[in-house]
Amino acid sequence: MILVAPLVAAVVCLAALAHAHLALPAQPLVSDYALVPGGMPLVVVGMTALASGCLFLAYGLAVNDPARTAATRLLLIAAAAGLMLSAVFPTDPGAAKSLSGELHRWASAVVFTSLPVAGWSLARGRAALPRWNLVRSLAVTSVITLAVYLAAHPATLTSPLIGGAAYYGLMERALIVAEIVLVVAMGLAAFLDFRLPAAVPVAGRNPGAAKAPEAGPAAVDRARAA
């Protein structure tokens, strides 16, 4: 479950995003697909799928490693809540501002920030293995992509300086894909961490094994002395 659920969620979410990109009119931001006919179901399906993946991952961590993953689980639950709020409260069209749009923006901010921190928190203190290095790399990549996206967004003062209006939508899509892959990488790394030690015994480190009876002359002498 800790691996399968995030993987299935990622496939569904990416499929919804790809279908929206190919079948619906071009939109600056992913959330804007909800404003065009036929776009709302795709947005809801994608966000709900990723929220489910986050919750199942949090559940798997709670079952397998409750002591070390409390912060990660809290962040995953926050991301899932942000995704569901973003799905329930659509964004505003154009420059309009409403309560629904404000809730959508703040919920999206929670998602974009909590997932990279969750990945880094889960990988913190783990061995420098390729699977955990991948989680760390994706967490850092997500933070850098988020910073570029925020700097390029037309609502910021830095956007005109870097020509952000031309590519801020692309940066948001890159951020979404990076965080989807991050959730899968977290599930994979945790799955391998929880399964490999039980499947691969380490020589000389089996405290539960019964001690073999002594044999030979020395053992006979000790028995006679007793």
Q: Among 33-42, 147-156, 170-179, 194-203, where is mean pLDDT lowest?
A: 194-203
Instruction: Record the tokens describing residue 20, joined without a space.
Output: 């929206």
What pLDDT does residue 40 have?
95
Q: Mean pLDDT, the chain, as a whole number?
A: 87
pLDDT for residue 222 is more than 90: no
| CA distance linking residue 23 with residue 152, whole number of Å | 26
What pLDDT does residue 198 have?
46
| CA distance linking residue 79 with residue 113, whole number of Å | 8
CA 114 remoteness from chain centre:
9
pLDDT tens per residue, range 78-118: 999 999 999 999 998 877 789 999 999 999 999 999 999 99
Is the separation of the CB atoms in 53 and 10 below 8 Å? yes
DSSP line for 28-62: SSGGGGGGSTTHHHHHHHHHHHHHHHHHHHHHHHH
pLDDT for residue 219 is more than 90: no
pLDDT for residue 210 is more than 80: no
pLDDT for residue 153 is more than 90: yes
| CA distance linking residue 51 with residue 69, whole number of Å | 18
Percent of the chain with pLDDT strictly greater than 70: 86
What pLDDT does residue 197 have?
54
| CA distance linking residue 134 with residue 143, whole number of Å | 14
| CA distance linking residue 67 with residue 40, whole number of Å | 39
Angle at 111 between CA 109 and CA 116, to 5 degrees: 105
What pLDDT does residue 26 have?
93
pLDDT for residue 57 is more than 60: yes
Angle at 85 between CA 154 and CA 176, to 5 degrees: 50
pLDDT for residue 217 is more than 60: no
Rg of the chain, C-alpha, whole Å? 24
Q: In terms of pLDDT, which residue wins out, 223 or 24?
A: 24
